[in-house]
Structure 1
C-alpha cells in the first residue's frame, strides 16, 4: 500500500518506522523505493480551498490571475531606509559576524497601503522578509482580492511591509544572524523598531493622517522564503503575542545558526530543533499560530542524509508532521519539479496561500482586535 493512501496518523507512524529501521536513508532513496509514494509526504490534491492539510502542486505551473494587474484601483507605496548603526538590536557589529561578509549600512523598508484601506482603522499587516522580493505579487493580490465577490477569496486590507535583510547569507552573515538565530531578537526588532518607523513615517502620515497598525496578533502576519521562512516561524514561535499568521516557503529548518551564537547552548542544531532532536514543536504546548509551510521537490540538499542536518525536504516534511501531530492550523505544500524558492511556485500558489492565511480574520474597526476562526 503506498504511504500516501494511509491516514495522516498512520502515515506519520509508517514514516517514523521506516526512518527508525533504516537510519540515514535519504528521502530520494525512499522515494525511489516507493516507500513514500511519488509526492513526498503531501496528499495529491491542489490547495484550491481553505482546508488545512497537505497538498501537491505541479509539475505544470501558471500565474494565478489574482497575482496579475487586473486594472483594479491601486494603493500607495512608500519607501525609506533605516541605518543599521542606529539600531539597538541589529547594528551590524555583532562579534559572530564574519568580517569578509558584507553588512549593509542601511536597510530598505517598502510599505504598500492598499486602496481598500480606510484611514483611521487599525490595519492588519504582513511583514515580508528579504523585501522587497515578491512584493509585486502581494500588491496585485491586495488590489484584486480585497475586492473579490467570493468570501473565500477575499483578503482584508492588510498593509504589506517589506523589510530588507542586513546583508550577505549563511553563517557569519548579518542576514544569517537575523533569520537563523533561534531567539525573539528579530521579532523584537520588527516590533520595537520597524513598526514604529512605519507608523510614524512622515510621507505615510501625510497621505493617511490617522494611519495605524493593529495590535491584534491575529492581524499580524509574517512571510519569508528560505532563511526568511525560518525567521517567520521563529518570530511567531518566540513571540506569539505579537505575530500569529506565518508563511514559509522553502523554509530553512536546518542547522544554519552560527556556531558561536550564545543560542547554541539552548538550541545546538538551530532550526533543525523544531522537528528533530529536541522536537520543539511536538514537545512544547500548542501555541496560537496559523502556519503555512512549503518545500520544493528539488529543494536544497534534497539528497543529503539526516546526519548533515541540512536536507531541506526532510526538514520541511518533518516540520509538517510535527504541526499535524500537535493539531495546529497548518497547510503544507509540496511542489513538484521545482527548486529552492522557485518563483513559479509563488506565482502559482501565493493567492491561495494568502486566502488561507487570512481566513477567519474579521477586524473590530473600533479596537483593531479580531477573533480567529
Structure 2
C-alpha cells in the first residue's frame, strides 16, 4: 500500500524521517488523503510487503517491435573510452548496446515522446509491459503516451575511474550531449527502424523527453535534466547516487568538489538555483547503500535522497519521492511494485506536440 507522509513531520532529522513519518500517521492525519494515488506529488512510503503490479505483467496486450544495435565507443566524439580520468585497471566496453522498443500504439509519422533508460537493457521488460498495457488504459490517470523506450548500455565497470562512472557521476552536460547528439540520431536513422516505420521520428519537445536510471544511472538522469532542461525534463531516479562519486581528478571537481552531493548539501544547488522546468521522481531504499554512514563520508544514500526530496519540495518542484521499507539498493521488487505508478505519475499531464 502507498501511504503519503504528512508534511508536519518533515522537520525531523534525516535519519528518523521515514520511520517517524510512518509511526506518526494516524486516522486524523490520513483523513485528507487516505492513499496516495499514482498521480499525486509528494512523499510516499511503501512496504514491507511487495507484489508485482498487474500492469507490469504480460496481459496479452498487442506487442510492439524491438530493435537492437551497437555503437562502438571509438567512434564517439564525446565518450570514446580514452578519457584521462579512467583507471586502466577498469575495463571499458568496445561497443555499447542500444535497445529500442516501439510500442504497438505508436503511429508512424508522429513525433514520438521517449524515455532514455540508463544501464540498458535493465528493467526494459517491465517498461515494455507497461507500454503494452497502459497505452490502452481506459483510466486517464493510468494511460501512458506511446513513448519509445531507448535503453542505452553504459560504457563499462563502475565507480570512480570507470567509464560508467565518468558518464553517470560527472556533474556536467556531457552525458546529455552524448544522448542528444549521438544516440538519438542513431536511433532515428537506424535502417531496421526506418524499414518498419519509414516516417519514424522523436519529439523535440523537452516535455516529451524522459530519462530513467538507478544508482549512478539515477544521478545521471537528474544531471541530464539539470544541465540541459531544454532537452530533457521528465526524470526518474531509483536509489539515486547523489553522493560524492565524481572522479577526484575530474575537471568538474573545481566547480563541484563533492559531485552530486552538491545538489542537496554543501553548495545546495537545488535550493540556491532558480527553479528549472523539471518533473522529478526520486526513491531510496530503507537499507540502501551505506545507510549508517556519517555525513562526513558524503556517501550515505538515504541521507542524500532524503535531503534531495527536502530540497525539491522546498523549491516547489513537481516531485514524487518513494521510501521503500525492508529493501536494498536498486531492489528489483521495488521496480516491480512501483514502476507502473512511477510512469503514470511521470507522464501525467503530457500532451503530444501536434507538429
Could you tell me how far 1:11 is from its partner in structure 2?
3.9
The alignment status of 1:253 with 2:242, answered yes or no, reads yes
> What is aligned with 1:310?
299
- Aligned counterpart in structure 1 of residue 317 of structure 2, from 328, 342, 362: 328
The alignment status of 1:216 with 2:205, answered yes or no, reads yes
CA contact (8 A) 2:9 2:21 kept: no
Return closer, same or farther for 1:229/1:71 CA change in 2, 3 Å cut-off. same
> What is aligned with 2:107?
118
Distance in structure 1 (CA, Å) of the matches to 2:270 and 2:203: 27
Distance in structure 2 (CA, Å) of the matches to 1:39 and 1:161: 40
> What is aligned with 1:106?
95
- Aligned counterpart in structure 1 of residue 85 of structure 2, from 83, 93, 96: 96
- Aligned counterpart in structure 2 of residue 206 of structure 1, from 191, 195, 210: 195
Could you tell me how far 1:229 is from its partner in structure 2?
0.2
Within 5 Å, which residues of 2 pair with 1:262-341? Answer: 262-341=251-330
Within 5 Å, which residues of 2 pair with 1:227-246? Answer: 227-246=216-235
Could you tell me how far 1:7 is from its partner in structure 2?
5.8
TM-score (norm 2): 0.94
Could you tell me how far 1:215 is from its partner in structure 2?
0.1
RMSD after superposition = 2.0
Q: How many residues align?
A: 347
Distance in structure 1 (CA, Å) of the matches to 2:162 and 2:141: 41
Deviating above 6 A after TM superposition, structure 1's stretches of 4 or more consecutive aligned residues are none
Q: Could you say what secondary structure the match of 1:350 adopts?
A: helix
Q: Could you say what secondary structure the match of 1:178 adopts?
A: helix
> What is aligned with 2:47?
58
Could you tell me how far 1:40 is from its partner in structure 2?
11
Distance in structure 1 (CA, Å) of the matches to 2:23 and 2:181: 42
The alignment status of 1:191 with 2:191, answered yes or no, reads no
- Aligned counterpart in structure 1 of residue 70 of structure 2, from 71, 81, 91: 81
Return closer, same or farther for 1:101/1:69 CA change in 2, 3 Å cut-off. same
Return closer, same or farther for 1:221/1:73 CA change in 2, 3 Å cut-off. same
Distance in structure 1 (CA, Å) of the matches to 2:228 and 2:257: 20
Q: Deviations over 1:310-343 (max 9, x none)?
A: 0000000000000000000000000000000000
Q: Could you say what secondary structure the match of 1:138 adopts?
A: helix
Distance in structure 1 (CA, Å) of the matches to 2:141 and 2:123: 23
- Aligned counterpart in structure 1 of residue 145 of structure 2, from 148, 156, 164: 156
TM-score (norm 1): 0.90
Q: Could you say what secondary structure the match of 1:346 adopts?
A: helix
Q: Could you say what secondary structure the match of 2:115 adopts?
A: strand
Structure 2: state its 5+ residue gaps: none
Could you tell me how far 1:163 is from its partner in structure 2?
0.1
CA contact (8 A) 2:92 2:162 kept: yes
Q: Could you say what secondary structure the match of 1:318 adopts?
A: helix
Within 5 Å, which residues of 2 pair with 1:131-142? Answer: 131-142=120-131
Could you tell me how far 1:38 is from its partner in structure 2?
4.8
Distance in structure 2 (CA, Å) of the matches to 1:232 and 1:218: 14
Distance in structure 2 (CA, Å) of the matches to 1:5 and 1:140: 27
Could you tell me how far 1:362 is from its partner in structure 2?
1.0
